[in-house]
């Protein structure tokens, strides 16, 4: 009982901070916005999405590099253990016609150094590929935004879960204290002969049931903290205290029709647009692949020959070679591969257009649905608030009547049960309203604005 009262006192002084059991300097004290900011730096999915942006950036630079000068060097050292033999007509040396004389040409050691360079002058596929790589980077950036929005939603809902469970625990703790006081008074009245034993037993049963709910709720609060840490990417061993309270959460958003809303406000629509752009680029690449490609190339080399390996000798003779050229590659026939690839990518464009239209319609439906859900949730919350106020009034009156002898013990038990049930219904309605608020903001595209 002492622990229970201490818990309630700490809850009133520091809302939603009781389960931080470690040293003060090791406690993370976060508001909702701070929890979201922490998740943006530590949540696994967000980190991976950021890695994908870095990967896409590197891919863009890799693609750009294809159009830059390509330079390579090579050194080749050969040791002919057996010098190749060539057959030469014997009549060159005065021999009979029709016969051949084996002759060995060359030296045992052949060393060469070569420097090659090339520059792509024109390739339609490369031009489209460069645009496609930038589109890929844009897709990864938008995927990061989408992951961030999902993380904001998950963290916010988990934060609300902790707050609601804390508030619920405060109320049930107060109910337990109130019922224990009544139980103690009834026990004295029973010992004095003013009430029957059955009256005390009824209250004892109600007290035991309520304390069982209280124990379960302690575990639920602890579990909700773990869920919040998981959504934030925080280690389970870290200590977390929440600084926001339910009183600081506005629950009256503007639900009027927003005629200025644009589907582009939703990241899902923007992603669908970028995907369509990527499909169109693939189709352009197919058309450009029919065009010739043009490249400039050049090479310089030096070669050393000898029957002894003395390439590092100053007396070694080196023989230079240099070449420059222009190469045009003209596609003629590839088994109709380009034609069928273009058909595939054309279908991809049609699918992208259809997906974009579907996403647009689903966004408007999502807005309508989330608006209705929030309106219903707020109405239900108001109704459950009234029910809880009435249940508290009934419980208070029934207790007074019982203590003055004008009411029965059964009325008190029923009133306590009704109050506990109304409080549970209220907190369920409160949580549903908070979740509906998050869903509404997500549907409107206002839940997360990347700075």
Q: What is the CA radius of gyration of the chain?
A: 40
SS3 content of the chain, % helix, strand, coil (to 5): 65, 15, 20
**Residue 260 token pair:** 């200025």
Per the CB < 8 A criterion, the answer to whether 169 and 217 are in contact is: yes
pLDDT score of 402: 75
pLDDT for the residue numbered 381: 92
Q: Quick check: 148 and 448 in contact, CB under 8 A?
A: yes
- Report the pLDDT value the prediction gives residue 216, as an integer from 0 to 100: 92
Report the length, in residues, of the chain: 451
Q: 392 near 423, Cβ under 8 Å?
A: no
pLDDT at 52: 95
CA distance 20 to 315: 82
Residues 6+ apart with CB under 8 A from 241: 14, 16, 17, 19, 20, 27, 28, 29, 30
Q: Give the pLDDT confidence score for residue 25 in this predicted structure.
A: 43
CA angle 44, 48, 52 (to 5 degrees): 170
Q: What is the 3-state secondary structure (H, E, C) of 246-274?
A: HHHCCCCCCCCCCCCCCHHHCHHHHHHHH
Q: Tell me the C-alpha distance between 30 and 38, whole Å.
A: 9
Residues 170, 152: Cα–Cα separation, whole Å: 27
SS3 195: coil
Please say whether the beta carbons of 270 and 146 come within 8 A. Answer: no
SS3 call for 255: coil
- What pLDDT is recorded for position 311? 67
- Between the alpha carbon of residue 242 and those of residues 18, 19, 113, the distances in Å are 9, 10, 69
Say which residues have a Cβ less than 8 Å from residue 76's Cβ, sequence separation at least 6.
Answer: 110, 111, 112, 113, 114
Tokens at residue 283, please?
A: 């189709």
Distance of alpha carbon 388 from alpha carbon 398, whole angstroms: 15
Render each residue's pLDDT in the chain as its tens digit; 451 residues. Answer: 433 444 433 343 344 444 444 444 468 999 999 999 999 999 999 999 999 999 999 999 999 999 999 999 999 998 888 888 888 888 877 778 888 888 888 888 888 999 999 999 999 889 998 999 999 999 999 999 999 999 999 999 999 999 999 888 888 888 888 888 878 877 887 777 777 788 778 878 888 888 898 899 899 999 999 999 999 999 999 999 999 888 877 776 666 555 556 788 899 999 999 999 999 999 999 898 899 999 999 999 998 887 777 767 777 788 899 999 999 999 998 888 989 999 999 999 999 999 999 999 999 999 889 989 999 999 999 999 999 999 999 988 888 887 777 777 778 778 888 888 898 899 899 999 999 999 998 998 888 875 4
| DSSP 8-state assignment for residue 299 | E
**Is-contact 353 276, C-beta < 8 A?**
yes
Report the interhelical angle of 2-13 vs 124-191 (nearest 10°): 130
């Amino acid at each position: 009982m002492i622990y229970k009262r201490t818990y309630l006192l700490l809850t009133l002084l520091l809302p939603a901070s009781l389960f931080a059991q470690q040293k003060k300097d090791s406690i993370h004290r976060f508001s909702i916005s701070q929890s979201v900011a922490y998740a943006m730096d530590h949540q696994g999915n967000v980190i991976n999405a950021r890695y994908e942006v870095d990967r896409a950036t590197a891919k863009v630079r890799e693609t750009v590099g294809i159009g830059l000068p390509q330079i390579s060097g090579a050194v080749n050292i050969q040791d002919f253990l057996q010098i190749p033999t060539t057959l030469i007509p014997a009549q060159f040396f005065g021999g009979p016609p029709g016969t051949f004389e084996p002759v060995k040409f060359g030296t045992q050691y052949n060393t060469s150094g070569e420097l090659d360079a090339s520059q792509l002058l024109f390739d339609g596929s490369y031009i489209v590929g460069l645009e496609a790589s930038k589109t890929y980077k844009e897709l990864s950036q938008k995927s990061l935004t989408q992951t961030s929005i999902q993380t904001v939603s998950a963290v916010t809902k988990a934060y609300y879960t902790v707050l609601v469970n804390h508030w619920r625990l405060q109320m049930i703790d107060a109910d337990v204290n109130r019922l224990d006081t009544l139980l103690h008074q009834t026990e004295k009245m029973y010992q004095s002969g003013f009430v029957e034993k059955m009256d005390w037993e009824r209250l004892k049963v109600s007290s035991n049931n309520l304390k069982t709910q209280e124990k379960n709720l302690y575990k639920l609060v602890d579990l909700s903290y773990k869920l919040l840490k998981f959504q934030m990417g925080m280690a389970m061993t870290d200590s977390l205290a929440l600084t926001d309270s339910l009183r600081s959460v506005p629950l009256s958003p503007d639900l009027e029709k927003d005629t200025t809303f644009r589907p582009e406000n939703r990241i899902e629509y923007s992603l669908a647009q970028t995907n369509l752009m990527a499909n169109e680029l693939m189709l352009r690449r197919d058309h450009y692949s029919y065009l010739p490609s043009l490249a400039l190339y050049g090479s310089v080399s030096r070669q050393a020959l000898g029957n002894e390996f003395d390439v590092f000798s100053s007396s070694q003779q080196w023989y230079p070679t240099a070449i420059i050229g222009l190469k045009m590659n003209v596609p003629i026939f590839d088994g109709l591969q380009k034609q069928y690839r273009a058909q595939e990518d054309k279908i991809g464009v049609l699918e992208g257009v259809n997906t974009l239209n579907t996403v647009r319609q689903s966004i408007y439906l999502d807005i309508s649905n989330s608006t209705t859900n929030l309106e219903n949730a707020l109405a239900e919350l108001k109704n459950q608030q009234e029910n809880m106020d009435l249940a508290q009034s009934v419980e208070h009156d029934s207790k007074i009547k019982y203590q003055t002898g004008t009411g029965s013990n059964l009325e008190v038990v029923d009133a306590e049960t009704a109050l506990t049930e109304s409080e549970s219904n209220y907190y369920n309605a409160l949580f549903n309203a908070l979740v509906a608020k998050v869903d509404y903001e997500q549907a409107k595209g206002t839940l997360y604005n990347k700075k």
